[in-house]
Structure 1
Amino acid sequence: MDAKADGWSSWPAPAKLNLFLLVTGRRDDGYHALQTVFRLLDWGDTIHLRLRDDGAIRRVGASVPGLPEYEDLVVRAANLLQREGKSAQGVDISVDKRIPSGAGLGGGSSDAATVLRALDRLWQLDLGVERLAVLGLALGADVPVFVRGHNAWAEGVGESLRPIALPPAWYLLADPGVHVNTGALFQSAELTRNAAPATMVDFVSGVSLGNAFEPVLRRREPAVEAVFQVLAEIGTPRLTGTGSGCFVEFATRELAEAAQVRVASRVSTRVVGGAARSPLLDALEAEG
């Protein structure tokens, strides 16, 4: 779909990685307290929007199997923004889906954030990033980082964000094809819920902080364990989010692509770059 063709505009919705993920306790509200670093990528989905003057909000094209349209995160995001901004306008939404679902790469959250940011511009609501981030949190804990558009040190349920400068890096991503039920993992008796809190100094100095969900998922899902075994031949594999996406970090694209060749016959992978900031911010600036 061409940008601006037949009234459509196109907006990036980047994927993310969790460079580590700790569960440090349980909050009074019952949610788990987390620590992580979000790394935005220069690859992801594309959201297409076409304004309507009848107030209707519609998902156009392929939908998620078994998911009613009104439960789709992009539709929920548009409805929430419409109510909050008291807008009489509507929108058609189409998604070019590249980020696999249930892989811990933030696809649904990023799609929702892009809808919030782009429609705030297109509907001329001008609610501001802070207010949009609060709206995003009502849709999911990962949505605010995509709304803000910066790599971040995150705490709380993932909503307490501090921008962090990350060096250039390239990532070899592998998708074992397992759709992970995040709720089930959080309830697992095997999950370490009382990790000692890390500091930003720990992270910057290269201390291995790990991912609390990795050992649980590797024991539960043979496909994830198999991918880890292959990736271990080319570097240190890590799990992103609650999985099942796995990745290995490299300093250059050339190193990542050379590693990709070594495992190509056994694991389906892609090489992507880490972004200094969300490509959505560039798109918003380009639109003026």
Structure 2
Amino acid sequence: MPRELKNCPAPAKLNLFLHIIGRRADGYHLLQSVFQLIDRCDYLDFTVRSDGIIERANQVAGVPAELDLVVRAAQLLQKHSQSSYGATITLHKNLPMGGGVGGGSSDAATTLLALNHLWNCQLSTTELMQLGLQLGADVPFFIFGSNAFVEGIGEQLQEVQTPEQYFLVIEPGVNVPTPSIFSAKELTRDTKAVRITDFPDATTVAWKNDMQAVACTLHSEIKEAIDWLSQFQQESGNLRLASAKMTGSGSCVFCGFETEKQANEVCTQVPKHWKAWVAKALQQHPMKSWLQN
């Protein structure tokens, strides 16, 4: 049994669109979205311990170890599998917190995938996804490991092929609490449902993020970033190239480009008060090939 795994990737995701098509009686919103994996990642190191202790070896700004989804994921797997092993975990953060790119959820998913392997728990992907759902709605997607057409409250996943493209992502420097978006009276909750077969070629569909208008009202910086990025988008009636929009409940915004060169050229023009980076679309989670080798 291997004793450690180093530099395990935890990739970000973008919502190529995010439609809210209804609301359940219990208050949960019904969504449709396509989750796109990209090659911008956090990285984690894992070393197996024989004493059963789970610890995070480094400080992460704004995230106490006892509240970290990484630690909670390891504890959950340990309890579920009744493993006697522990782990020392180091988390190298590159992804913004509260940016809508799923960083914390992805970190938790990579932890479950890596420790399932290191501890020889032999849980299936489905079992790991069920565990992950206890930690957050986006965690099962990262364990699923492929780009997905997402429905329900985020728990229904169907694999989907997405267009090859490069993304310029801008961090406007604000943190958007998701509850503030979902509770807003102005939030659109009746967008017409689409079918997975519509994606990405339906020219009659306005591929948008229904949370964006509310977020822009609450945080003008998001609107400014979208307006700035929109001048560079390549107009298309479908989703071959993603138009400038916000991901998730914010605050990151992005736009798709055909080539890395095009994305990098625009990235050099981003105003200095915003952080920006370029990422490539992935078709599957890099841990899939890692753990198959």
TM-score when scaled to structure 2?
Answer: 0.91
Residue of structure 2 equivalent to 1:252: 259
**How far off its partner does 1:96 sit?**
0.5
Amino acid at match of 2:219: E
Amino acid at match of 2:11: P
CA offsets 1:103-132 (integer angstroms, 9 cap, x no match): 000000000000001100000001110000
1:52-71 to 2 correspondences below 5 Å: 52-65=49-62, 67-71=63-67
Check 1:230–1:266 CA distance in 2 against 1; reply closer, same or farther (3 A cut): farther
Amino acid at match of 1:232: S
Instruction: Pick one of 203, 209, 229 that aligns with 2:227.
Output: 229
Q: Does 2:47 correspond to 1:50?
A: yes
Amino acid at match of 1:237: A
What is the aligned residue count? 281
RMSD, matched Cα: 1.7
1:159-170 to 2 correspondences below 5 Å: 159-170=155-166
Residue of structure 1 equivalent to 2:177: 181
Structure 1 alignment gaps of length 5 or more: none
| Mean CA deviation greater in 136-145 or 199-208 | 199-208
Amino acid at match of 1:175: E
Amino acid at match of 2:225: V
Residue of structure 1 equivalent to 2:70: 74
Q: Does the 8 Å contact 2:4/2:118 carry over to 1?
A: no
1:33-182 to 2 correspondences below 5 Å: 33-65=30-62, 67-182=63-178
Q: Does 2:291 correspond to 1:268?
A: no
TM-score when scaled to structure 1?
Answer: 0.93
Check 1:263–1:69 CA distance in 2 against 1; reply closer, same or farther (3 A cut): closer
2 CA distance for matches of 1:107 and 1:173? 14
Q: Does 2:6 correspond to 1:9?
A: yes
Q: Does the 8 Å contact 2:5/2:114 carry over to 1?
A: no
Q: The residue matched to 1:139 in structure 2 has which SS?
A: coil
Residue of structure 2 equivalent to 1:20: 17
Q: Does the 8 Å contact 1:152/1:164 carry over to 2?
A: yes
Q: Does the 8 Å contact 2:4/2:45 carry over to 1?
A: no
CA offsets 1:47-88 (integer angstroms, 9 cap, x no match): 1111111111111111342x4422210111001100110101
Q: Does the 8 Å contact 1:203/1:209 carry over to 2?
A: no
Q: Does the 8 Å contact 2:4/2:47 carry over to 1?
A: yes
2 CA distance for matches of 1:11 and 1:151? 19
Amino acid at match of 1:26: R
2 CA distance for matches of 1:175 and 1:126? 38
**How far off its partner does 1:266 sit?**
6.1
Residue of structure 1 equivalent to 2:236: none
Q: Does the 8 Å contact 1:230/1:267 carry over to 2?
A: no
1 CA distance for matches of 2:188 and 2:65? 36
Instruction: Pick one of 209, 226, 239 that aligns with 2:207.
Output: 209
Percent sequence identity is 40
Structure 2 alignment gaps of length 5 or more: 234-242
